[in-house]
Amino acid sequence: MEYQRTVAERVCFEGEGIFTGQEIRVEICPLRENEGIVFERADLPGKPRIKLSPEVVYGLDGAVLISDGDITITLIEHLLSALHGLAIDNALIRVYGEEIPLLDGSAFPIVRKIQEKGYLYLPALRKRYRLKRPFEMINGVGKIQFFPANQLKIFAKINFDHPIIGEQSYAFTMSQIEYLREISFARTFGFKTLLEERRQKGILKGGSLSNAIVIDEKGVLNEEGLRTPDEFVRHKILDIIGDLYCLGKGLIAEVQAEASGHKLHIDAIKTLYRGGYLEEVETRALTFFWVKMRKRVNR
Candidates 49-57, 111-119, 179-187, 234-242 — which segment interacts with Zn ion by CB under 5 A? 234-242
Of residues 89 and 239, the one with the C-beta less far from Zn ion: 239
Of residues 40 and 239, the one with the C-beta less far from Zn ion: 239
Q: Does 231 bind Zn ion (CB under 5 A)?
A: no
Among 16, 98, 104, 239, binds Zn ion (CB under 5 A): 239
**Closest CB 214 distance from Zn ion, rounded Å:** 14
Of residues 212 and 286, the one with the C-beta less far from Zn ion: 212
Candidates 51-59, 140-148, 232-240, 268-276 — which segment interacts with Zn ion by CB under 5 A? 232-240
Residue 85 exposed, middle or buried by CB count within 10 Å (0-12, 13-18, 19+): buried
**Closest CB 185 distance from Zn ion, rounded Å:** 13
Candidates 1-9, 217-225, 231-239, 248-256 — which segment interacts with Zn ion by CB under 5 A? 231-239
Q: Provide CB contacts within 8 A for 267, sequence distance 6+.
A: 59, 137, 139
Residues in contact with Zn ion, counted by CB under 5 A, come to a total of 2
Of residues 168 and 283, the one with the C-beta less far from Zn ion: 168
Of residues 154 and 278, the one with the C-beta less far from Zn ion: 154
Sites for Zn ion among residues 149-188 (CB under 5 A): 188
Q: Is 235 a catalytic residue?
A: no
**Closest CB 235 distance from Zn ion, rounded Å:** 6
Q: Provide CB contacts within 8 A for 132, sequence distance 6+.
A: 148, 276, 277, 278, 279
Query: Active-site residue among 78, 235, 262, 265?
Result: 262
**Closest CB 212 distance from Zn ion, rounded Å:** 9
**Closest CB 77 distance from Zn ion, rounded Å:** 6
Active site residues: 262
Residues that bind Zn ion (CB under 5 A): 188, 239
